[in-house]
Amino acid sequence: MTGNSAKEKQDKLLGLILLFGAAFITHIIFAAGYIGFPQDMQCFSWWAGAMFEHGPGKFYSLEAFTDYPPGYMYILWFVGAFLKLCGVTGLTTFSAVIVKMPAMICDLLIGYVVYKVASKYTSHKYSMLFAAAYMFNPAVIINSATWGQVDSVLTIFIVLMIYFITEKKLPAAYFIFAAGILIKPQAVIFTPVLIYGIIDQVFLNNFTWKRMFTQLGIGLSAIAALFLAALPFGLDKVIPQYVNTLEQYEYASVNAYNLWALLGKNWTSQTDIFLFLPYKTWGTIFIIATVVVSAYFCLKNKESESKYYCSGAFIITAVFMLSVRMHERYMYPALALLLIVCAVKRNYKYIFAFAFLSFVQFLNVYHVLFHYDPNTYIFDNPVITLISALSIGAFGYYLYVYFNQLKCKRAYTKAEIAEINAQKRANSIKNNKNKNNNRNVNNRNSAQNNRAAANNADEASGKKSWFSIITSEKALKWAKWEIIVVSVITVVYAGITFYNLGGFEAPQSMWKSNQAGTEITVDLGEVKAVNHFFGYPGTYENRKFEVQLSNDGTNWTPINYQDSEEGAGVVKFVSVFCWNKISASFDARYVKFVQKDDVAEIMEFKFYDAEGNDIRPVSATAPEVIDEQDTFDGIYSFMNSTYFDEIYHGRTAFEMINNMYCYENTHPPLGKAIIAIGILIFGMVPFGWRFMGALFGVFMVPIMYILARKLTGTRWLATLMTLIFTFDFMHFTQTRIATIDVYVTLFIMLQYFFMLCYYKMSFYDTPIKKTYIPLLLSGICMGLGCASKWTGIYAGLGLAVIFFAVMIRRYGEYRTALKRPNGKTEGIEHRFIIDNYSNFTLKTIGFCVIAFVVIPFTIYLCSYIPFSDGTSNNLLGQMIGNQRQMFSYHSALDATHPYESTWYQWPVIKRPILYYLESIDGTLKSGISAMGNPFVWWAGIPAFLYMLYLALAKKDRTSLFIAVGYLAQYLPWMLVSRCTFIYHYFPSVPFVVLMIGYSMYKLTKDRPKLKGVAIAYTVLVVALFFVFYPVLSGYPTTDAYVTNLKWLNDWVLLF
Contacts of 711 (CB under 8 A, 6+ apart): 756, 958, 961, 962, 994, 997, 998
What are the tens digits of pLDDT across the range 361-414? 999 999 888 887 777 777 778 888 889 999 999 999 998 888 876 665 655 565
Q: 533 forms bridges with which residues in the sheet?
A: 582, 607
Q: Is residue 44 over pLDDT 80? A: yes
Q: What is the mean pLDDT of residues 808-829?
A: 87
> Of 79, 71, 144, 78, which is closest to residue 105 (Cα–Cα)?
144
- Half-sphere exposure (Cβ direction) of 182: Cα atoms closer than 13 Å: 26
What are the tens digits of pLDDT across the range 487-504? 999 999 999 999 999 999
Q: What is the mean pLDDT of residues 3-16?
A: 75
Q: Degrees (nearest 5) of the Cα angle 82, 88, 94?
A: 85
Name the least confident of 482-486, 564-568, 843-847.
Answer: 564-568
Indicate the burial class of 886 (C-beta count within 10 angstroms; 0-12, 13-18, 19 or more).
middle
Say whether pTM exceeds 0.85: no
Per-residue model confidence (pLDDT) at position 684? 93
Residue 965 to residues 151, 453, 748, 773: CA-CA distances in angstroms? 33, 39, 9, 20
Q: Is residue 417 over pLDDT 70? A: no
Q: What is the DSSP letter of 979?
A: -
Q: Is the dihedral of CA 50, 51, 56, 60 positive or negative?
A: positive
Q: Is residue 451 over pLDDT 90? A: no
Contact criterion met (CB below 8 Å) for 719 and 482:
yes
More confident residue, 33 or 740: 740
Residue 535 to residues 510, 543, 575, 600, 767: CA-CA distances in angstroms? 12, 10, 10, 12, 64
Other beta carbons less than 10 A from residue 217's beta carbon: 11
Per-residue model confidence (pLDDT) at position 448? 42
> Of 805, 730, 772, 818, which is closest to residue 1025 (Cα–Cα)?
730
Per-residue model confidence (pLDDT) at position 449? 44
The per-residue pLDDT of the chain, averaged, comes to 87
Per-residue model confidence (pLDDT) at position 623? 94
In single-letter form, the type of residue at position 722 comes to T
Per-residue model confidence (pLDDT) at position 473? 85
Q: Characterize the bridge pairing of strands 543-550 and 557-558.
A: antiparallel
Per-residue model confidence (pLDDT) at position 446? 45
d(CA 1035, CA 311): 67
Contact criterion met (CB below 8 Å) for 218 and 170:
yes
Per-residue model confidence (pLDDT) at position 206? 78
d(CA 155, CA 152): 5
Strand, coil or helix: 398:
helix
Q: Which domains does the chain have, with CATH numbers?
A: 3-407 (no CATH), 511-636 (2.60.120.260), 670-1043 (no CATH)
What are the tens digits of pLDDT across the range 17-31? 888 988 999 899 888
Q: 500 in the Ramachandran plot: left (φ > 0), alpha (ψ -120 to 50) or beta?
A: left
d(CA 688, CA 677): 8
DSSP 705-732: HHHHHHHHS-SHHHHHHHHHHHT-HHHH
Per-residue model confidence (pLDDT) at position 463? 46
Per-residue model confidence (pLDDT) at position 431? 59
d(CA 620, CA 613): 20
Q: Degrees (nearest 5) of the Cα angle 631, 635, 641?
A: 65
Per-residue model confidence (pLDDT) at position 412? 56
Q: Degrees (nearest 5) of the Cα angle 754, 857, 873?
A: 150
Q: What is the mean pLDDT of residues 771-787?
A: 95
Q: What is the mean pLDDT of residues 639-664?
A: 91
Per-residue model confidence (pLDDT) at position 460? 38
Give the highest mean pLDDT range of 196-205, 254-263, 766-775.
766-775
Q: What is the mean pLDDT of residues 761-781?
A: 93
Q: Is residue 452 over pLDDT 50? A: no
Q: Is residue 439 over pLDDT 70? A: no
What are the tens digits of pLDDT across the range 870-905? 888 888 888 888 888 888 887 777 777 888 888 889
Per-residue model confidence (pLDDT) at position 381? 80
What are the tens digits of pLDDT across the range 694-723? 999 999 999 999 999 999 999 999 999 999
Per-residue model confidence (pLDDT) at position 279? 84
Give the pLDDT band (50/70/90) at residue 450: very low
Q: What is the mean pLDDT of residues 579-604?
A: 94
